[in-house]
Chain A
C-alpha cells in the first residue's frame, strides 16, 4: 500500500525526523490559509507540492516555489485539479486532488536515505548516498559505489554505530552526526512499527544553517501486514488507484489492469502471469492480470466477469483454469451462469484441465453459449487472439 508524501512526513515527524512546516490542502481556500500562515510565520519561500502516488512530480510541473501569497494562490489554482504526467503515471497522468503547502528550505546539500528489504540476504538494509535528489535506481545502476549500505540484524535492530557510519560516509559535519544518527534510528523504528516495505527520504537535505531536513518522503506498507494496522489502513487513498482494481479488491480478487484487448481469468498467480505471456507470444496483448484463487466460488467468478467486462478495451476473454483444489466442473458451471446472468456477448475461449475436467467440458459444450474450447494452452491462446482480432476488424 502506498501513501502520500504529507502522510509519510507526519509519520516521520512522530519518530523524531525533522520535516518542514506544512499543511495538506484539498481546496484553494485551505491552500491559501496554509500559505498565509507560513508567510506570517516569517518564511520567505513557500512550496506548493502536488500530492499523487507517483514520483517525478517536480519534472512534471507539480512542484513550484512561490514568494508571495498571490503567487501561492495562482500556483495552487494551476496545480490543484491538473492532470499531472510523470514518468510513473503513464501518458494519461494522474489528477491532482491534494496539495502540500510547505515552508521552503535553503538547501545546502541534497542527500539520500532509504530503508528497504534486501531479498537476497533476507534482511532490512539502511542505505545512504551523497547523490540525493536523483533517481536512486539510476545511481544504483551507474555508480553503485555511491550508495552505502548497512544490513540490520533483525534480532537487535539497527544499531547507532551503523547509522553513525553512514552519517560519516555522507560527509556530514561533526556537529550534524548526532542529529543524522537520530534521524536514521527514527526511520528504522518507523519502518518496523509500520510494517513498511520501502521508505525513502530523497532528498534528505542540509540547510545553509546546518540543519537536517526530510524534504520528501516515500513510504510503502506491506499489504499482508495491514491486519494489525487499523490506523495505517485509513491512510489509503483509493482515488489514486485504478477504479477497477479498487472494485476487484472489494471481492478479494487479485486484479491488475493492463492496456491490451484480451481479458484473462486464471487460477494461481504463476499461471496467470504465464497466461499473459502466452497471449503475447501468440500475437495478442493481455488486458489484465487476474488470479481468482484456488477456491473460487460461483459468486467470485461472477464478480470477476463483472470486473473484466467493465474494461471497454476488452474484445475477447481467455479463461485458463488448472483445476486442483478448484474443481473444473464447479468452475464451468460458474462461467456458464455468469455468462447468462451478465449477458456476455464477447467471445470466450476456455482452456480447462485438471480435476473433473470431462464433466466441466460437458457443461460448457451443452450450455449453448458462444464458447470455444482449446485443448492446450497454446491452442486456446491462438483461438483467443484470433477472436480478439476478428472483433476489432468488425468494429472498423
Chain B
C-alpha cells in the first residue's frame, strides 16, 4: 500500500510514466507487427469460417480490452470513493475514451463478421446487447465528465456511475453460458483449455498483448495530459489572482 501511495504523487507519476512510455510503445509495435504477420501470413483459413477468421484477430482483443478498461475504471472508482487516491479520478477519466473505442471496434468488427457468417449484422442476442450497453455506459461516463466543471464532484459522480455499471461486466462474460445466444461460447479462457488451434491461438494472444500495451501506453499519455490540464487550470487561477493584486496596487485609493 505504501508503494501505491508513493505512486500517487503526480510528480513521481510523471517521471515514472515518462521512463516507461518509450519501452511500452516499442514493445507494443513489435508485438503488433509480429501478431499481424502471423495472423495474415501464417495462420490458416478456418475450415468453416474461411478467411473471415482474420476478423477474429482484432475483434477478440478489442472485446477483452473493452472489459479490461472498464474493470480498471471500476477499481479507480473505488480509489476515488474509498481511498481518495489523488490519481484515481485522473486514471478513470483517461481510461473512458480508450475503453469506448475498443468497445466500438468490438461491435463493428463483430457486425462485419456476423453478416457473412450469421447472415445478419446484428441480433438482440444477450452477448451483443450487453456489449452495446457497455459502449453506451462508456459514452454516459464521458458525457458526465464533460457536464460537470468541478473535477472533484465529477470524479465522485462518475465513480458511482462506473461502479453501478460494473454489474454489466460479469453479465457480458457469462451471457453466453446463462442464455441461449447466437454468439459462440468462450473458446480461449475456459475450463478444459482453449478450443482454438495453436496456429490461430498464438497470433491472437500476441495481438492481444500488443493491443494491451498500446492501450496502456495511450492511457499513460492521457493521464499525463489530464495532470497537466489540472496544473494549467490551477496556474491560470493563480495568474489571474496575481494580476488582480497588481491592478489593485496600481490603482490610487
| Chain B associates with chain A | no
- Which residues of A pack against B, CB within 8 Å? none
